[in-house]
Amino acid sequence: MRYLLNFLYGVAILLYSPKILYRMLRQDRYRAGWGQRLGRIGRRNPEKPCIWIHAVSVGEVNATRTLVDRFAAQMSDYEIVISSTTDTGLSRAKALYGADYEVFYFPFDLSWVMARAFRRLRPSVVLLMELEVWPNLAAIAKSQQVPVVVINGRLSDKSFPKYMKVRYFIRRMFRKVSLVLAQTDEYAQRFIALGCDADKVIVSSSLKYDTAQTDGAVEGAERLALQINLGGQRLWVAGGTGPGEEKMVLAAFARLKKQAGVDHLRLAIVPRKPERFDEVASLIDAAGFGYVRYSALKTGDDAVTGKPTVILGDTMGDLKKFYALATVVFVGRSLVPMGGSDMMEPTGLGKCTLFGPETFNFKQTVEVLLAGNGAIEVADENALYEQMLRCLQDTDFAKHIAANGQKVIRQNQGATQKTVDAIAKLIS
């Protein structure tokens, strides 16, 4: 079976190679880490047992923060290593953990590559954020009696039907999973439907609730306010935006600037993908707004001259600081069919938060926020404008939404300790 799987992987790599080459040449991606992707991975403390945590991209990496801290505190005799798949995910993992832990690209799931990775890491347990179960990884772990655990488990409305279509071929893989810690009852039932043993699936809530800051000052926010010369002005932050949304945001912003009671409003746009920074800069320029790129300010000590109407957040890892300064937040990738971005961070900070209807990646969070009157869903560009206008003109309404959202986040925290307890029990 593994020979057939390796052959299919090889075909897929050949078919995908033109896209890889294009991104290498035009977007400066996929240029580093090929040795790691081929299983050449090292450890800093090879004498210790090892916990291998894998998180695909930036959102999943961010969700590991409280978990890694808790492992370090309660299971300090284990070495922690962290892998990621995407360039942005790895960059974020290095920023968070590079000083203390080994961080590397996730190896290809070719049998010989994954076997090499296991020989070098010798993990005591493999923790996969949300879903990332791979056939050869599962098979090799099973043969070496290494538990594979899905943590923060999630199967979205979009991905679950696709998995169900091929469940006959993948259920053996899911049966090799030692434990699933699912975010919700619905997700738990979906893992069982794909082949996981029912007695190995536990509902633990989402780790992302625990990573959401709900009190205290956000480090670096005061400096950001000085750098962009915010003063006493109000700031609308559109965070984690996707293709097509920036035009809607800019159009709504242009309408807002013409309304009474919306004085001194500025806009910060923070696109989700760094390769889109230049594109979004062109959109802001075409809309006729004066703007500044935060990358031009970040490394300096001086504030921007004047008060540019729009700030382009074209750096990585600074979105939380923008949210901390926001009067109102729009969470992107939600007015276009991209599944949404993380709305827990701004709601946890006590910000009045809006998002569109395309939020299948955060279904449970959206449900509890809307049920608790802790966020506002907008259907389209016009609804975005109307609700923004209401929030800016009716400050009591906006404060009420913000307080409710923060309360919902606090009520759903606690997954980190449940996860650590379950892993400790499993590998003891």
Residue 377 phi/psi, 5-degree rounding, is -95, 135
What letter does residue 213 receive in the DSSP assignment?
-
- Residue 126 tokens, joined: 């493999």
Write the single-letter amino acid at 44.
R
Contact indicator for 381, 252 with CB cutoff of 8 Å: yes
Write the single-letter amino acid at 279.
E
| Residue 99: burial class (beta carbons within 10 Å; 0-12, 13-18, 19+) | exposed
Contact indicator for 133, 150 with CB cutoff of 8 Å: yes
C-alpha–C-alpha distance, residues 350 and 369, integer Å? 12
**Nearest alpha-carbon partner for 345 in 263, 424, 406:** 406
* DSSP per-residue string spanning 268-327: EEEES-GGGHHHHHHHHHHTT--EEETHHHHTSSSPPSS--SEEE--SSS-HHHHHHH-S
| Residue 177: burial class (beta carbons within 10 Å; 0-12, 13-18, 19+) | buried
Which neighbouring-strand residues pair with 234?
265
- HSE, side-chain direction, 13 A CA sphere, residue 143: 11
Pick the catalytic residue from 47, 60, 132, 245.
60
C-alpha–C-alpha distance, residues 26 and 271, integer Å? 19
- b/e code 221-246 from CB counts within 10 Å (16+ = b): beebbebbbbeeebbbbbbbbbeebb
Find how far residue 56's CA is from the centre of its chain. 9
Dihedral of alpha carbons 197, 200, 203, 208, sign: negative
Query: Helix, strand, coil % (nearest 5) of the chain?
Result: 50, 15, 35
- Residue 190 tokens, joined: 């979906």
> Is 275 designated active site?
no
**Nearest alpha-carbon partner for 51 in 33, 27, 75:** 75
Residues annotated catalytic, as ranges: 60
